[in-house]
Amino acid sequence: MSKPRDLQPAIPTDALISIRGLRTRLGDKLIFDGVDLDIPRGKITAIMGPSGTGKTTLLRHITGQLGPDAGEVMVDGQNIARIGREALFDLRERIGYLFQNSALLTDFSVFENVAFPLRQHLKLPEELIRNIVLTKLQAVGLRGAAELMPAELSGGMMRRVALARAIVRDPMLIIYDEPFVGLDPIALNQILKLIRTLNQTLGITSILVAHELAAVSRIADQIYLLAAGKIAAHGTPDDLARGETPWTKQFFSGEADGPVPFHYPAPDYATQLGLVGAKP
């Protein structure tokens, strides 16, 4: 059950996104059990946590792809579960989303993929579209690959094209779902700089879901650590690195023993191997 409204934490005035009492069940699994969090405007917020804790599901709530069972998700002052489809699409026009698997349109070239949101929503002269697309491709280091098809790109290059597409309309919010997977150290460094530059120069709010602690710590203003359906820890990267809770200790030191089990629930190992009760 979600908490009564007067018991829930107040929403900070500078929060672009506020989530209160979020409760979600997918099938038999309880994903969120009373999550409260705030994403401040103009900051980079990282969402971290063990695999399968619902980080991507949380992003799906924020973008209205999935409705909560209880609680509310407010984005720019609008309750995302209650707004109509048109208002939701208006809101999504101001959000850039980098998918975990890039999700490039395979029929279109790199250039056309990045130009897609511009062509669909704005009536801009072809020359201007060309300049905007090339500028964004230059930012991710792929201006020279503009005419290639997605099938001709490596995983890391596809991710950078998807990033260029996510930022092509200079949105108010960019959501990065695992942006660093498959990037070599040079590309990783450049993408980190780009995320930070977008945040500092244009004041774009960013939500980052990633597992690369060192990379996240370089750019994130705050980190939420999700575990067992709740916010297990919250603070700056330095705060969390110094954290003394069992969750932060285990997550930041990468140990198998702790509140997050490494092994998926299973019967006793020795029993399953037939070693218990066997004659010597």
Partner 1 sequence: MSAVRKANLPLGEGIAQIGACGIFLFQILRAIPRSLRHLRETVRQVYFVGAMSLVIIMTCGLFIGMVLGLQLYHTLSIFGGTAALGTVVALSLYRELGPVVTALLFAGRAGTSITAEIGLMRATDQLDAMEMMAVDPMAYVVAPRFLAGIIVMPLLACVFNALGILGAHLVGVSWLGLDNGTFWSNMTSNVDVWDDILNGVWKSTAFGAVITLIATYQGYTTPPTSEGVAYATTRTVVFSSIATLVLDFIMTAFLM
Binding site for partner 1 (CB under 8 A): 63, 65, 89-90, 92-93, 95, 97, 99-101, 103-106, 116-117, 120-121, 165
Q: Which two tokens stand for residue 166?
A: 């996510």
Nearer to partner 1, 62 or 215 (CB): 62
In the complex with partner 1, the residue whose CB is nearer, 120 or 253, is 120
- Closer residue to partner 1, CB minimum distance, 63 or 217: 63
Backbone angles phi and psi of 179, in degrees to 5 = -75, -15
Per DSSP, the chain holds a count of helices (H) and strands (E) of 10, 10
Least Cβ distance, residue 34 to partner 1 (angstroms): 27
DSSP letter for 103, please.
-
> For residues 88 and 148, which CB has a smaller minimum distance to partner 1 in the complex?
88
Q: Which of 30, 45, 42, 34 is nearest to 72 (CA)?
A: 34
Decide whether 14 or 90 has the Cβ nearer to partner 1.
90
How far is it, in rounded angstroms, from Cα 242 to Cα 245?
A: 9
Distance in Å, CB of 92 to partner 1, minimum: 4
**Tokens found for residue 224:** 């939420």
Q: Considering the complex, what minimum distance in angstroms separates the CB of residue 100 from partner 1?
A: 8
Question: What are residue 226's phi and psi, to 5 degrees?
Answer: -95, 135
Q: Shortest Cβ distance from residue 235 to partner 1 (Å)? A: 29
- Phi/psi of residue 174, each to 5°? -120, 130
Quote the least distance from Cβ 95 to partner 1, whole Å.
7
Report the C-alpha gap between 223 and 46 in whole angstroms.
Answer: 5
Residue 87 or 270 having the CB closest to partner 1 = 87
Within 212-276, residue ranges assigned H as helices are 213-219, 237-241, 246-253, 269-272
Q: How far is the CB of 60 from partner 1 (least distance, A)?
A: 9
Entry field: residues in the chain: 280
